[in-house]
Amino acid sequence: MKLLSRAIAAIALVLAAASASAQGVPTIEDLKKATDAAMETVGRGDLAGGLKSIQPLFVVSNAEFESTAGQANLAFSVWSTRFGASRGHEFIEEKRLGSSLVRLTYIHKFDLHATRWQFYSYRGKSGWTISTLNFDDKLQDLF
């Protein structure tokens, strides 16, 4: 369990590192369409495909992204063993702070449990980009 927590923390740290290569989208609605599509793919059990589909929105280099995706696959493997097969996703909440920050929260459903996914986004010069992605199995923090 501690190894999984460290891996998740490492994922959050790497995804939070800034890079100038992100391609933003013009509206929050466009951002949500992209994260919805990514979560749809993750919900079918294709974590790598889901992350890859939104890679251009992340503010990290390609090398950092690939490293993070590999770590995420390890966490996903542990969750699949513990919680069963993927059973889809559900959008939970959109929270805006001012006109430049938004957090989109989802759950990824498994047979026996769900994981919480939170996309933190910023509207900068190139539009809405994803600054940080956190995911964990702490559903109690949703309440």
Domains in the chain: ranges and CATH? 2-142 (3.10.450.50)
Which candidate, 108, 118, 62, places its Cα nearest to that of 88?
108
How far is 70 from 89, CA to CA, in rounded Å?
21
Q: How far apart are the first and last CA of the chain?
A: 22
pLDDT, tens digit, for every residue of 81-96? 999 999 999 999 999 9
Question: Buried b / exposed e across 65-87, counting CB within 10 Å, b at 16+?
Answer: beebbeebeebbeebeeebeebe
- Does the pLDDT value for residue 78 go beyond 80? yes
132 confidence band (pLDDT: 50, 70, 90): confident
pLDDT > 90: percent of the chain: 64
Of the candidates 121, 113, 115, which has an alpha carbon nearest to the alpha carbon of residue 94?
A: 121
pLDDT at 16: 45
Contact 65, 56 (CB under 8 A): no
CA nearest neighbour of 22 among 111, 99, 133? 133
Give me the phi and psi of 39, to 5 degrees please: -70, -30
* Closest to 11 in 3D by CA, of 120, 106, 134: 134
Which bin fits 105, alpha (ψ -120 to 50), beta or left (φ > 0)? beta
